[in-house]
Structure 1
Amino acid sequence: MNFKNIAILFLIGTVSVSCSQQSDSTQTARSESQTSPVFSKGEKITNDNFVGTAWLNYLAEADTVHNVNIGLVTFEPGARTNWHYHKGGQILLVTEGKGLYQEKGKPVEIIEMGQVIKCPPNIEHWHGATLTEAMTHIAIGTNTNIGGAVWLKPVTDEEYNAI
């Protein structure tokens, strides 16, 4: 084997090791990013519109250009909203865990990570975690120029446990 062939083999080996190390570090970075949350949990909700412990991180609030509120809401097990409705409707993007959703007059539904729930305008509903699992969703209040959430009475334990 001549010097030229040895040099080529050396370069191929070096590039191969470098690509392998780069791939390993990329995989590690992906794994770490998949385990850390995209958005922080936010602040603990301290108003009377929720039962149990829930957290809110406002991601975007309505302004003169965008008629939408976007918030990340995390419900600890057993936590839920009161009955409420949105004059302009609401969309829920379930990002973690398992939760519950109910529209007035309909049965309680189990909602899970990856589901998208469209809450029609002016329809009373509630949502939250199950009794044993936390749930996080991105709540999008649509058409906020029409009006925001109208909060009603708390969901009773009987209503909550009707699943």
Structure 2
Amino acid sequence: MKNTSLALITMVFVLLLSCKQNEKQEETEEIVDIQKVEAIFPQGQKGSDTLFTGNAYNYGLVPMDSTYTMLVGNVYFEPGARSNWHTHPAGQILIITDGEGFHQIEGQPIEVLKKGSVTKCPPDAKHWHGASPEKGMQQLYILPNTEKGVVNWMEPVTDEQYMGN
């Protein structure tokens, strides 16, 4: 009887331990899933190495035309990727759909962007944006009043500027 009870207790202990192991594995898998950047749109075309540090991919959604006079697209920045400094004659609106990154208007502190962030860049304001070092970022961009122009590209953002130094 003692041996049967001991065997039964051992089996219950092993089953409980096994269940705990499965729970930990599921929790770890959930954490890993949270770190992925979910794409809504196709990746698009890789941006020019002369305009971006790292890899950024553009996918146009609403082409420029004389009726809507706006341009809308999606950019995916891989971790650490960022645009050069640039301006938009009529300004720009960014809507972050996943991941995390940064946006900075010249002379202002770096703004941290996360899924759900919306930021506006005034007309002709020199700025840059891109992913954080650890995680990529998906953004929708809206460029209004394209009859005024689209973008004026400038110099790359230095590593010191990117890191906020």
TM superposition score normalised by structure 1: 0.75
The aligned residue for residue 33 of structure 2 is none
- 2:96/2:117 contact within 8 Å kept: yes
2: CA distance, partners of 1:75 / 1:161: 16
1: CA distance, partners of 2:143 / 2:164: 27
- 2:90/2:123 contact within 8 Å kept: yes
2: CA distance, partners of 1:39 / 1:83: 25
The CA RMSD over aligned residues, in Å, is 1.5
The aligned amino acid for 1:129 is: A
2: CA distance, partners of 1:76 / 1:115: 18
Say whether 1:81 aligns with 2:86: no
SS in 2 for 1:105: coil
1: CA distance, partners of 2:114 / 2:40: 18
For residues 106-125 of structure 1, the aligned pairs below 5 Å read 106-125=108-127
Q: How many residues align?
A: 129
Unpaired runs of 5+ residues, structure 2, are 1-36
Unpaired runs of 5+ residues, structure 1, are 1-34
Say whether 1:55 aligns with 2:52: no
1: CA distance, partners of 2:114 / 2:41: 19
CA offset digits 1:120-146 (Å, max 9, x no partner): 101000000011110010011111111
1: CA distance, partners of 2:99 / 2:132: 9
1: CA distance, partners of 2:150 / 2:63: 11
The aligned residue for residue 38 of structure 1 is 40
- Deviation beyond 2 Å, 4+ runs, structure 1: 35-38
- 2:39/2:138 contact within 8 Å kept: no
The aligned amino acid for 1:62 is: M
